[in-house]
Structure 1
Amino acid sequence: MIRRQTNDKTPNFHQQSKLWRECTTFRKLRQVHASMIINGFNTNRFNLREIIYVTALVIPSAISYAHQVFDHITQPDLFMWNTMLRGSAQSPNPRKAVFLYTQMEKKDFRPDRYTFPFVLKACTKLGWVNVGFGVHGKIMKHGFEDNTFARNTLIYFHANVGHIEIASALFDSLGTKQVVAWSALTAGYARRGDLGMARKVFDEMPEKDLISWNVMITAYAKRGEMESARVLFDQVPKRDVVTWNAMIAGYVNGGLHKEALDMFEEMTSLGERPDEVTMLSLVTACTDSGDLDVGEKIHRSVLVLGGGELSILLGNALIDMYAKCGNIDKAIKIFRSMKEKVVTTWNSIIGGLAFHGHSEEAIRIFKEMCSLKLRPNDISFVGVLVACSHAGRVQEGREYFRLMKDKYNVEPNLRHYGCMVDLLGRAGLLNEAFEFVNKMDIKPNAIIWRTLLGSCRVHNNVELGKCANEELLKLRWGESGDYVLLSNIYASQGEYDGAERLRRVMDDKGVRKAAASSLVDADEETLMHFLFNSKPQSNKKRGLIR
């Protein structure tokens, strides 16, 4: 039998008590929770509702604690269930909202008009199309399909997961269309890349809220149509931090770093407070442009914004920025100053050190990480293997490659294999490098063979160079650098006939030599780009931000 739960007619209960205003920190929350336990945790339903509200919605990042509290409530009511669903749906792990709903069904709690929209929002964030369709069926079963809140969320779900026809049909079936429905349909068209229809729906809206303006500005910015985005930006009646962030991110992604900083300065001059998203975009701009002076300015702004402390995301980004801009000491200083570090933080500093030739320090920090019982991941091993390669620590590199799979259950990918080939090739162990490639569990790509070819060039091995070149040409025949590398190997050994034959092959195939580039340096940058998925940095400051 389904149990009907009431809300005791207290939808605004949190406005009736000072507790939710006082619990602004995790420490205060724990004190209040302890007091409730001493006085009989499950005896006061009003206080139970309040602590669930505070932990799930008021205090940032307290949702995990909310789940722990909720699990100890013997008879949660529908308000508590819905509050937990809402908090979980907007958390970094929205799948918990779906799992909560399944528990709710097993306990025979009858949902209300607020229950399903929270679950649908979780399905939207997760991209769980089939589960979302199931929730749509539940909405129809319980008679909530005509509820405005539920219908708007259905439009939002179907528009965002790609079922724009269903979303459009639901929209057309509405009598009075609220701005939420208009915005959801606009966002759906924008998400699928149909900016023409998105703009059509946007222009037809009888009234526009800030969300609808932000949807269109973000859509143009993501497509790189910054002129169109700027036109709307200048027209929006009232902006929020999302509006500014959309523009700043759009300029950064388009490589328009000066415009991004100009937008930030305009933002702050008008009194708009930037958030973490703003600062991450600006740090990325400084990283890409290589402008260390501006990067330090942004760093100071980040510290002011965070009260002197760095979040994990911003700390990682700043470590990456300083490393790529060549200030390794500052990167290490930030790393050491961070009170909370996760694996990605360690990866940022290990990779930054390894990439810039500070191999011994990178290896030392990797060992420190392991000694703290932190589990390295695939990116961690890319960093330490590159460090071993640059330091010439062949045996240590072999050992880390073995431990990666045997101890940490990390399956090697092409980046790890590339590191090992580079390690062996740099050390002149060309036969072992070729044998290693032949035994790879993954088909070697062009980067692997080009790395081998470059090693053969360095160590003047003509025969193995020819083998690597043959394999490389099977994958790509039009890259002039591949031919030139082998030609240089021939020439270094005095085999000028072979070099000349190769030049004729290039002419016959119409392959032209790229001008003005260092083959050794280019190979190094190509490999680093492959390993770290980052843009090779130039000593010159490109697209400088003033």
Structure 2
Amino acid sequence: MIRRQTNDKTPNFHQRSPLWRKCTTFRKLRQIHASMIINGFNSSRFNLRELIYVSALVIPSGISYAHQVFDHITQPDLFMWNTMLRGSAQSPNPGKTVSLYTQMEKQDIRPDRYTFPFVLKACTKLSWANVGCALHGKIMKHGFEQNTFSNNTLIYFHANVGDIDIARLLFDSSGKTQVVAWSALTAGYARRGNLGMARSLFDEMPEKDLISWNVMITGYAKGGEMESARVLFDQVPKRDIVTWNSMIAGYVNCGLHKKALEMFDEMKSLGEQPDEVTMLSLVTACTDSGDLDIGEKIHRSVLDLGGGELSILLGNALIDMYAKCGNIDKAFKIFDSMKEKVVTTWNSIIGGLAFHGHSEEAIRMFKEMCRLKLKPNDISFVGVLVACSHAGRVEEGRGYFRLMREKYNIEPNIRHYGCMVDLLGRAGLLTEAFEFVDQMEMEPNAIIWRTLLGSCTVHNNVELGTRANEQLVKLRRGESGDYVLLSNIYASQGEWVGAQRLRKVMDDKGVRKEAASSLVDADEETLMHFLFDSKRQTKVNAKMV
């Protein structure tokens, strides 16, 4: 039976009964909810509080259900409002927290000392500095500025997205007794790149908890100061998964992939279990280094971690790794095995296929994604435009370029323009390619002009090649390879005087040809790196999921 309680306690009263402590699944939650409806949904304030608490905070991903339940409660009390604010703040959609608080104000629900910290945390996650500053004013208005919980959250907010000077003022005036405040301010300085001030605070801390150590280690790792990070890592009294992940990610970001893998081996030898963040860093290391053998070992570790199933983030990362390491068949197998696919998953396989010259298949996959009503994004169009370029499908490429704006309201960026220049240049439509560049809505960069110069070399067009080289010189990006490409155009046309004159220009400018490099291959590699920045794709994947 559902416990009935007619005597309401204070708005923040909360004591879990045995029945509600056992409620840990959606099925059990719905059963109890159904029983409450039969017995009069709004009749027991205690059970209403428990229903909101469990759905918002206990059941994973239960916040949407909590919102549905909350909307049907007649006159929810302050405990329910605060629980909803708390659950929303730590959900994937923290913006709901601010909306809820706005509803509270409209209904004249007076906040307490717990209310504002939850809303401030949401503003910090969203980087909503203006809203957070307005809440700071409301905290002062309601007289909660001296409350430790509110004060610590204000320091955390201002240190991260607000005004660091205000955070320091709050800390100096009342926060020095709380280790939470020390950690928050230290983290703020570290995230803003002021590692000197962060370390000074860290050294002054009267008491250091694990969060404080992790804040400093992460700050050094993100700043690329891995030696300093390692010193602290060796000194920390006790480590957790965050400590290990900070070091591994730091080594990966610095290109020290061997060190990252050694850290992973050390972690396993000490019995520490990796999580998804660990494996994402290691997969990225294998992608950047191109080490397929190590990548396959990491893949096996990923499967062990997830019981044979892949999350969206890890699946996408593995597709990207196998594609970049040259095993497109493995990339396809992972794609087919994934039970859930989002746009970034399709982008990974389309980009991998296009990168390896499987143009027709890449275009087919793009069409299939659209057929399934998945809305392509800017990276999707980079993939299909590269595929069209490699397949020589000029008209189809033009169509996709128009489709971006006309159907999906995506404004082309420099990558899309680069794809179109490459498409037209490969097809020998050099005049159209130059006209396309002249009509661009942004300034063409060195890669655009270098792509044109490469196309002029392939098609032996001296006049347009000279123009492309002149633009590169104006951008102060004229490198030896560019001059040699233009010289080769002159030579292919038998214009030896022009070639000799260009060599003299190189001598006068002090430009020296670098030996033992394939210039055409280098241009191709530069363009593809420009079009498929794996680190950017990984960030987009994480953001969209």
The one-letter code of the counterpart of 1:117 is P
Displacement of 1:60 after TM fit? 2.9
**Contact persistence 2:120–2:154 (CA under 8 A):** yes
Matched-pair contact (CA < 8 Å) for 2:283–2:298: yes
Pairing 1:219–2:228 present: no
Listed one character per residue, the Cα deviations across residues 400-425 of structure 1 (whole Å, up to 9, x for unaligned) are 11212111211111111111111111
Task: Give the letter for the 2:427 counterpart.
Answer: A
Distance 1:228 1:76, change over 3 A: same
Q: Kindly state the Cα deviation for residue 281 of structure 1 after the two structures are TM-superposed.
A: 0.7
Task: State how far apart, in whole Å, the 2-side matches of 1:43 and 1:327 are.
Answer: 62
Q: Does 1:16 align with 2:6?
A: no
Structure with the bigger RCO (C-alpha within 8 Å, sep 6+) is 1
User: Which deviates more, 410-419 or 88-97?
Assistant: 88-97
Supply the RMSD in Å over aligned alpha carbons: 2.0
Q: How does 1:346-495 map to 2 (within 5 A)?
A: 346-495=346-495
Partners of 2:485 and 2:72 lie apart in 1 by 68
Closer, same or farther in 2 for the Cα pair 1:340/1:41, shift >3 Å? farther
Q: 1:425 to 1:478 in 2, by over 3 A?
A: closer
CA distance in 1, matches of 2:301, 2:41: 44
Q: Which residue of 1 aligns with 2:157?
A: 157
Indicate how the Cα distance of structure 1 residues 52 and 15 shifts in structure 2: closer, same or farther if over 3 A, else same.
same
Letter in 2 for 1:458: V
CA distance in 2, matches of 1:519, 1:7: 79
Offset of residue 336 of structure 1: 1.1
Match for residue 543 of structure 2?
none
**Aligned CA distance change for structure 1 residues 11 and 407 (closer, same or farther; 3 Å):** same
What pairs up with 1:88-487 in 2 under 5 angstroms? 88-161=88-161, 163-174=163-174, 177-487=177-487
Amino acid at match of 1:428: G
Q: How many residues align?
A: 529
- Name the amino acid aligned to 1:482: D
The AA in structure 1 aligned to 2:148 is T
Tell me, yes or no, if the aligned pair for 1:162 and 1:188 is still in contact at 8 Å. no
Conserved 8 A contact 1:414-1:444:
yes
What is aligned with 1:64? 64
**Judging changes above 3 Å, is the alpha-carbon distance between structure 1 residues 486 and 33 closer, same or farther for their aligned structure 2 residues?**
farther
Cα deviation, 1:317-370, whole Å, max 9, x if unaligned, reads: 111011111111111111111111111111111111111111111111111101
Cα distance in 1 for residues equivalent to 2:304 and 2:316: 17
Q: Structure 1 counterpart of 2:228, which letter?
A: S
Asked if the contact 2:152/2:180 (under 8 Å) is kept, the reply is yes
- How many angstroms apart in 2 are the aligned matches of 1:37 and 1:349? 48
CA distance in 2, matches of 1:377, 1:77: 43
Structure 1 residues 201-230: Cα deviation after superposition (integer angstroms, max 9, x where no partner): 112211111111111111111112222211
- The runs of 5 or more residues in structure 2 that have no matched partner are 1-6, 536-545
Question: Would the aligned equivalents of 1:154 and 1:167 in 2 still touch at CA under 8 Å?
Answer: yes
Deviation for aligned residue 1:244: 0.9
User: Which secondary structure state, in structure 2, belongs to the residue aligned with residue 174 of structure 1?
Assistant: helix
**Counterpart-to-counterpart distance in 2, 1:335 and 1:35:** 43
Other structure's SS at 1:460 match = coil
Contact kept in structure 1, 2:283 and 2:318, CA below 8 Å: yes
1:175 CA displacement? 7.2
Tell which deviates more after alignment, 207-216 or 463-472.
463-472
Verify the 8 A CA contact 2:16 2:50 in the aligned structure 1.
no
Tell me, yes or no, if structure 1 residue 529 matches structure 2 residue 534: no
Amino acid of the structure 2 residue aligned with 1:510? G
Please say if residues 335 and 345 of structure 1, whose CA atoms lie closer than 8 Å, have aligned partners that are also in contact. Answer: yes
Secondary structure of 2:174's match?
coil
Deviation readout 1:456-513 (Å, 9 max, x if unpaired) = 1001111221222222322225422221111111111111111111111111112222
Quickly say closer, same or farther: Cα 1:21–1:522, change in 2 above 3 A. Answer: farther
What per-residue deviation string (whole Å, max 9, x for no partner) do you get for residues 423-479 of structure 1? 111111112222222222222222111111111100111122122222232222542
Distance 1:49 1:307, change over 3 A: farther
Residues 245 and 12 of structure 1, relative CA distance in 2, 3 Å threshold: farther
Q: Which residue of 1 aligns with 2:3?
A: none
How many angstroms apart in 2 are the aligned matches of 1:200 and 1:477? Answer: 42
Write out per-residue CA displacement over residues 96-116 of structure 1, whole angstroms, 9 at most, x where no aligned residue.
211211111111111111111
**Cα 1:7–1:399, aligned 2, differ >3 Å: closer, same or farther?**
farther
Corresponding position: 1:52 with 2:56: no
Q: Aligned equivalents of 1:305 and 1:405: distance in 2? A: 42
Once the two structures are superposed, what CA deviation does each residue of 1:224-250 show, in whole Å capped at 9, x if it has no partner? 222221121122121111111111111
**Alpha-carbon separation, structure 1, partners of 2:137 and 2:230:** 41
Contact 2:56–2:62 under 8 Å retained in 1: yes
Q: Take 2:84 and 2:345, find their aligned partners in 1: how far apart are those partners? A: 31
Task: Name whichever of 241-250 and 264-273 sits farther off.
Answer: 264-273
Q: Distance in 1 between matches of 2:171 and 2:370?
A: 54
Deviation of the 1:380 alpha carbon: 0.4
Farther-moved stretch of structure 1 (70-79 vs 516-525):
70-79
> Deviation of residue 39 (structure 1)?
4.7
Shift in CA distance, 31/141, structure 1 to aligned 2, threshold 3 Å: same
SS in structure 1 of the partner of residue 456 of structure 2: helix
Sequence identity (%): 83
Worse-matched range after superposition: 61-70 or 292-301? 61-70
> Which residue of 2 is the match for residue 516 of structure 1?
516
**Which stretch shifts more, 263-272 or 498-507?**
263-272
**Cα pair 1:331 1:349 within 8 Å, conserved:** yes
Equivalent residue number for residue 498 of structure 1: 498
| Whole-angstrom CA distance in 1 between matches of 2:531 and 2:395 | 20
**Cα distance, 1:36 vs structure 2:** 4.2
Aligned partners of 1:530, 1:48: CA distance in 2, in Å? Answer: 55
So what's the TM-score if we normalise by structure 1? 0.92
TM-score (norm 2): 0.93
Residues 1:121 and 1:271: Cα distance change in structure 2 (over 3 Å): same
